[in-house]
Structure formats: structure tokens, C-alpha cells
Amino acid sequence: MKRIVNILLYGSIVALLLYVYNLDFLIFRDLRINYNWLFISFVFLFTGFVFAAISWKVVLNLHNVKVSFKEAAYSQGIVGFTKYIPGRVWTILGRAAILKNEDRKLKKLSFISFKEQLIYLCLGFLISIYPVLKTEKIKEYAWIIIVLTGLLFLLLFSTRLQRFLEKIWNRAFKRSLNLPKIQVIEFAHISGVIAIWWFLWIAGFYFLLISITGFVPFYYAFAFPLSVVLGLISIIFPGGIGVREGVISLFLISNGINADVAVTISIVARVWFLAGEFFAFFLALSFRKKV
């Protein structure tokens, strides 16, 4: 499994570098950037990735899987680029496969990883309701975000819905499926840590925004979580490429940002977040011999 993950990982990095190579960097030529705000945005971004590793460690420890921060950061960061493989399956399985040993079973680790990803997605949708309602031109679509949020919460907490979906899956694919069951206290504990890195990234995106546009209302920064969660559920688009840029552009244009500037910001945001993913990857590499 680890060998497969490594092959997919390095393949996805090559594909990603080709994507970056093919970007039209001419759009950056006329940007006027405040580098002080840009530097602060990277501080928040990188700190968010550190808290993502802490979150993974906390979730594992809650399920009696004892790992160090270095192990969590390594397993989290080393497979980060596998999200650019359609389906996001390898992001969930990859970090579980890295931590697998005689005492840590792959099935249990994958189950925990899937649970954390569901809570991450759930919080992202919850956070995204506010900016959509706040934006006059797109608030009529807020019901879509609200419904998706409600369905995710039902998936996490409704045992009836879980059993129903498990039965459908078992009959259709002749294979057993066990959806993660979660208690309210457990959800509160895990979501508290996940919320920290969500808001670190939102703050980072805000400073990225004002480094380009000058001061704008803070809620403009919520374009970022909205783009991430919609990119995540668009599983046929690796890493949400195209979807995230489109959502950020539409949101900013709907809030009065010039269309050309909005599109440029969406592409800059992709490169900015890629820098964070490379930070997590190289942080993981620095721990490779220590885990």
C-alpha cells in the first residue's frame, strides 16, 4: 500500500508542476502587491498547516491511536498532493497507510481519517453559509449550502440514515460499508481543533486579498472556505482545480470586485495555497528519518 501511495504521490506532484508551468504568469505582471500583508498571509497559511497536523494527531489519540506530532505531520504532509488525484480517496487512505503497522490496522486508521475529513467538510459548509447570505447577488443560492450542510450533519449523527445508506451500498456492491458513528462530545472536541486551522486559513486569505486589493470587508475572505468545500465535493476535478478558482471569482465579482482582478486573485490564491502544501510536504520530509 505504501508503495502505491508513493507512486501516486510523485505522479501527482509531476502533474501539479505541469499545471503550474502552464499557468499564464503574465497576469501577475501588473499586480501591485503589499508585501507586508503578503508575508502575514503566509504566516497564517503555514500555521494553519501545522494545526492541520495537530488536528490529525488529536483525532488519532481520541481513538486510542497514540502518535507523536512528527508522525502526524509526516503522514499528513507527505501525501498532501494525492488530493490532485480525482476522488480524494488516496488522501484518506494515504495517511492511514503511512501510519499502518502491526498495532495500527489500516481499516481503523482509514475509518478515523474518513471521519476527520467529514467533520472538516461539515465545518467548511457551516462557515460558508454566512458569506453566501451576506452577498446580495448570490444569497438566493444559500439554500444549496444549507441543505448540503444539513445532509452532512445527518450523515454524521443519524444512525437511521447511516444504516439505510449502508444497506443500499451492501446490496449494490456486495461489500460491507461502515459509516463513521460520532458522538456530539466527540464532534465538539474534534471540530474545535479543525476550526482553528479553518480560521487561520481564512485570516491568511484575507491578508492575501488586501495585499492585492487594499482593504475590503473581512467577510470577502470567506470566499476561500466556500471554494474549498465546493471543490472537495466536485470529486472528478483533482484538487478542485477550476472549481475553486471559479467560486472565488464569482464570489468576489458578486461583491463588487472587478472581474479581471477577481480572476487574478483566484489564480494567485491557488499558487498561494500550493506554497502551503509544499511547506507541509517539506516539513513532512524533515521528519522522515525521525518517525
Query: How do residues 252-276 score in pLDDT, each as one tens digit?
Result: 999 989 888 888 898 889 889 989 9
- pLDDT score recorded for residue 279: 93
- pLDDT score recorded for residue 198: 94
Q: How many domains does the chain divide into?
A: 1
Distance between CA atoms of 256 and 89, rounded to whole angstroms? 37
Supply the DSSP symbol for 172.
Answer: H
- pLDDT score recorded for residue 238: 56
Which residues of the chain fall below pLDDT 70?
1-30, 84-90, 102, 169, 172-180, 235-241, 289-291
Going 110 to 115 to 116 to 122, the CA torsion angle's sign is: positive
Is residue 207 within 8 A of residue 41, CB to CB? The reply is yes
Distance between CA atoms of 63 and 47, rounded to whole angstroms? 25
Q: Which residues constitute the domain of residue 37?
A: 2-290
- pLDDT score recorded for residue 81: 72
Is residue 9 within 8 A of residue 94, CB to CB? The reply is yes
Q: What angle do CA 215, 218, 220 make, to 5 degrees?
A: 95
Going 144 to 149 to 243 to 215, the CA torsion angle's sign is: positive
**Residue ranges with strand state E in the chain:** none
- pLDDT score recorded for residue 7: 59
- pLDDT score recorded for residue 39: 96
pTM (2 d.p.)? 0.85
- pLDDT score recorded for residue 201: 96
Distance between CA atoms of 207 and 197, rounded to whole angstroms? 15
Going 39 to 268 to 225 to 79, the CA torsion angle's sign is: negative
DSSP for 257-280, please give it.
--HHHHHHHHHHHHHHHHHHHHHH
List pLDDT tens digits, range 220-256. Answer: 999 999 998 888 877 655 555 678 888 999 999 999 8
- pLDDT score recorded for residue 12: 59
